[in-house]
Structures are given as C-alpha cells and as structure tokens.
Chains A and B, each alone.
Chain A
Amino acid sequence: MSTAKFSLIAVAIGALVMAFAHWFHVDYLFFASYTILQFIVLATAWNILGGYCGYVNFGSAAFFALGAYSSVALIKFDGEIDAWFPEGIANVLHHIFPLPIPVLIMFGAFVSGIVGFGMGYLTLRLRGSFFAIATLALAVVLQTLIVNWDFVGGSRGAYVIRPENLEFAGIEINYIEYLFALMLLLAVIALTTARVIERSQLGFGFATIRDDELAAEACGVPTLRLKLIATTLSGAFMGMAGAPFPYYIGYLQPASAFGLEYAVNSIAMPMIGGTTSWVGPLVGAILLGSAQQYATVTISSAVNLLIVGLMLVGFVIIAPNGLIGLVQERLRRRQP
C-alpha cells in the first residue's frame, strides 16, 4: 500500500472515530479517548528510537512535559505582553497572541526536538542500560529546572483556562472535541511517519543500529547521523503530544507532567504491542490505554500503574516480541 493511500485510510478511520464520538456526544468519551490518542503518539514516538534503533529512552515524560511547558510559557507570555513591551510592539503582539494550538504544537515539537537532538549528541557513546540511565538523568534535570522556573508556575503549577467553545468559520466547536480532533490528527501523522520510516532506507539503517552498530558502520551506515535523526524525531513527536496537554488538563504541575505514568506507559505500550512495526505501539496504546481508563472509572486511578506492571510482566513471559511478534510467529509456523 502506498503512503498516500495509507494516510487517506488513516484519516478516514480518524474521521469515522470523530463522527462516532460526536454522535454519542458524551464529553467523557472525548476526555478518555484523548488520553488514549495521546498515548498512541507517545508510544509511536518512543518506538522510533526504542523499537527501531534499540535505544531505550526512560525520559519520555521529560519530552512530553517540555512540550506541555513550552505551551504554558507561550500562554504566560501572552499575559505579560503589556507589562514587558512598549505600546506599539504590544499592539502588534496582541494580533499574534494568543497562539492557536496547532502553532503551540509545532513550537512544542521544535523545543522537544532540539532537546532530543542534544540528548542524542551528549549520549552518542552510551549504549544499553547506560543510555537508559542518561535519559532518566535528563528527565530529573529538566524537572528540577521547571520546578525552579517561576514564570511557568514553578512547583505551584500553572492554571490554563480552557475556553468553552472555539469559533471557526462561524461554527462553534466544543473545545474538548477540538482538542480530541487535534490529537487524532497527530496520531495519524505519527503513525504515517513511523510507517514511512519503516519502509525506507532510513528504517533499514535504524534496524542495523539495533542489530549491530559496528557491522552497520562497516556497511557504510552513518550510525551517528541516524541516531541523531531518531532522537530528534522521537523527541519532537513526544513534544507534540504534550503541547495541547495544558488545555486538556487545565492545571499543569511538574509532578504530573513529569509523571512516572508517561515514562512507563511509553515503554510498556510498544513492548506489549510489538516494537518492530508501527502497528505495535498502536495496538499496545489502545489496549493498555483503554484498560487504564476502564480501571480509573470502575476501580480507582491508583490501579493504573499496577495494570501496566502486571501486563508488562505477563507479556515479557508469554510474548517477548509483543502481540505483533506473537501473530507473526504463528503465521511463520503455519507456512511450510
């Protein structure tokens, strides 16, 4: 299937999901599905580095939080324009600000992408668990920075008032539906990108890094450059997932944005789904995300991580290559 065809189908499925949710018209459905979509983006982003290249990133939450906090910074900036700038410039800035969420998403992607690049550059010589530890350290450093940055709320956190509705071309759109639609679009973009990478020269290069870096270099693969591409892309997508988050949650604090939940889920979802294909993170995120949402409503939100832990242990034992790996293995055996 060509990429154009794939993205058309993906968009069509997205539109169908959207129409279905709209028809139901239950705000909770949007809230819950938003979280799942957000995890699809996060898991896919993690998988670009962790699954394709084999570099395990424990700092996903940091990239996600960076995206969220770059939005907060821009929103706060909007409130300070009159105080900081002379009237002439302030008037011009008021025409630009407040920025629409798609711009915030691009900005979040940019910031997280740059930090991803920096992380890749600083950890070029680290492999395996050492790389994982370095990413964990990066998350701690970034969280400390944010906690101590008063402008974005510091440890107190920041309130972001979500408008009730969005006016677009004369039509009023429920804001949560708008956020949901944006995240749906992001998920489609992330999955399409992952699929394109998988089938391209870049994807083959990533796989050689995962298998054997020394042999890859000997075959002419510029491993360093490819690693940087992967860390940047992966970081950028995580930032994208985080950028609309302040509007979704309404009150953002470092402890929740840098939460263990994001780091663990972005690893667990691709692992459970399967890391070698774009389908894995999608399946994993839907499965695990829905289970968590269900548990949150029926049992308690504290059970979330317990579910992740149990499922991860289960899958490591039963299907080390994830659900996709399990299916592929079955198909392989069936062939003579």
Chain B
Amino acid sequence: MTALLHVDNISKRFGGFVALDGITLEVQPGERLGLIGPNGSGKSTLVNCICGTLQNESGSVRFDGSTMDGLAAHERTHRGVARSFQLPRPFHSMTLADNLRIPLLYTVHARLGPLRSAGDLDMRCRDLLEMVGLAKKAKQMPRDLTQVEMRKLELARAMAAEPKLLIADESMAGLSHSEIEDILALLVQLSERGITIILIEHIMSAVMSFSQRLAVLVSGKKIADGKPEDVVRDPEVVRAYLGQ
C-alpha cells in the first residue's frame, strides 16, 4: 500500500534555530497517527510545513501520489489536507453556518465545480453542525461559544473541506475530562468514515486510546515511531519526557 502522506527528510530553521531537522514520516490511508513531543519540539512547525503555512527549506512533502512542495496553503487544502488550529481561529464576523460555508464555497466547489445550489450548501452546513452537535447554534456568532464548542467548530470547519487527511493540532488542550471524551468520540467517528487523522496532543490518555501508531518529536528530530505501547516504553522517549 502506498502512503497517503510522505514527509521526506524535511528541515526548517528560523534564523539560527533548527526547528525541524530531517524529519521523515509516512502515514498510510485511513491510519490514526498520534504525534507527541515536549513543548517546542517542532510539532506545530511540522504541521505548518505539511499544510503550507510554512515552506520547508529542504526535503519534500508528497501527498496522495504527487509532490506538494512550493504549493500555497490553500492549494494544499484543495488537494485534501485539512487542519484545525491549536488556538481556535474562527471567522469572528460570521455566524457558525457561514464559518462552514467558506471551505464549502472555496474548496469543495473548486474541486467538484459549481455543483451545489444555495439549498445544498445550507444542508451541508446543517449536516456538519449536527455532526459536532452545534446545529442549534447555527445562527450564532463564534463569540457566543464555549471553549469546547469552539474546538468542535474548528473540527467541523476542517471537515467541511472534505479532506483525505485531517490534522488535529491540540484540539483537546485545556478541556475537561468529559469534553475530551466528546472530541475523541468525534475523531473516532471521522476515522471510521475513512479519513486519515494525525492527532497532535499532550494528553497521553487521549493519544494512547486513539492512536494506532505513535511518533515522537524531540528538538526537531523524530526519535521514535511505532506501536504506542512500545513507543512509550522506549528509554529515549522516557528520557526526553522525564529527564534523566
């Protein structure tokens, strides 16, 4: 089976600081990959390089059989990579339904051609909001939402682009236990629909229960990659997290 995402030896530096140092990572179609690492280890930089927010200086990113190097972020979204942001970034001046309308208009439209009528669009928005349990708040503004609802909106908006790969960047940070369960259930549901998911998270219980495979970044290098149970016992990983 060929990999859906193939990150090949990419590096990124900010001035003298090496944020990513030759990372290689493969994700198979339908896989649930957990990506962990201490603060500042380069997880978000890696996500930004995959999504096109940042451009890697060396190495290449292949997605779904073709290279994405040099493509702008919106072009990568059109190819089928979607992300949620660590801190929710909703469009503040729009209602929830309109927030979801953007990827539908700009990505799904662009991919399929103008197939959808206004009624179709409304229905899709409603379906997506229902999926995350926000259907009743369709006409409200993002400022009326709670933290967990904001995270759900963030995921729904990423899903609206009908991606093949979803990268959830710390979508559970700061949530309560039951709220984490909520988001996890949502992610599992998405995975069951056949969407490949990369989960970046600090909350180990969530990562362990969700991931089929676990990769660990430490200061810009990948130090472990394998079955979650094996990875957490890896002495190098333990050292990185707990110190010596």
Contacts and interface: CB of A to CB of B under 8 A. Distances in A.
A204 B91 CA distance: 10
Nearest to B81: A218
A51 to B, nearest CB: 11
A106 B64 CA distance: 47
A218 B105 contact: no
A276 B82 CA distance: 29
A217 B74 CA distance: 5
A140 interface: no
A281 B146 CA distance: 35
B interface, over-half SS: helix
Interface stretch (A7-15, A219-227, A238-246, A310-318): A219-227
A276 B93 contact: yes
Given A218-B51, A219-B157, A211 B77 contact: no
A interface residue count range (under 10 / 10 to 19 / 20 to 34 / 35 or more): 20 to 34
Given A204-B98, A214-B53, A215-B85, A220 B106 contact: yes
Interface in A177-192: none
Contacts of B106: 201, 205, 219-222
B161 interface: yes
A208 B91 contact: yes
Contact of B107 (A219, A223, A224, A276): A219
Contacts of B75: 222
A142 interface: no
B77 A218 contact: yes
B171 to A, nearest CB: 14
Nearest to A215: B89
A204 B102 contact: yes
Contacts of A220: 74, 77-78, 102-103, 106-107, 110, 161
Contact of A210 (B52, B93, B103): B93
Contact of A215 (B52, B78, B91, B107): B91
Nearest to A223: B74
Interface residues of B, number: 31
A216 interface: yes
Contact of B161 (A204, A207, A219): A219
Given A217-B73, A219-B161, A220-B77, A211 B53 contact: no
Contacts of B98: 204
B72 A224 contact: yes
Nearest to A220: B107
Interface string B94-110: 10001001110111011
Contacts of A221: 74, 102, 106
Residue from the set A210, A218, A223 with the largest chain B CB neighbour count within 10 Å:
A218
A217 B107 contact: no
B72 A217 contact: yes
B83 interface: yes
A186 to B, nearest CB: 29
A164 interface: no
B83 A212 contact: no
A211 to B, nearest CB: 4
B89 A222 contact: no
Contacts of A212: 89-92
B72 A219 contact: no
A40 to B, nearest CB: 24
Interface of B: 51-53, 72-75, 77-78, 82-83, 85, 89-94, 98, 101-103, 105-107, 109-110, 157-158, 160-161
Given A217-B77, A220-B77, 13 more contacts: A204-B94, A205-B105, A208-B102, A216-B102, A217-B52, A218-B73, A219-B102, A219-B157, A220-B78, A220-B102, A221-B74, A221-B106, A222-B75
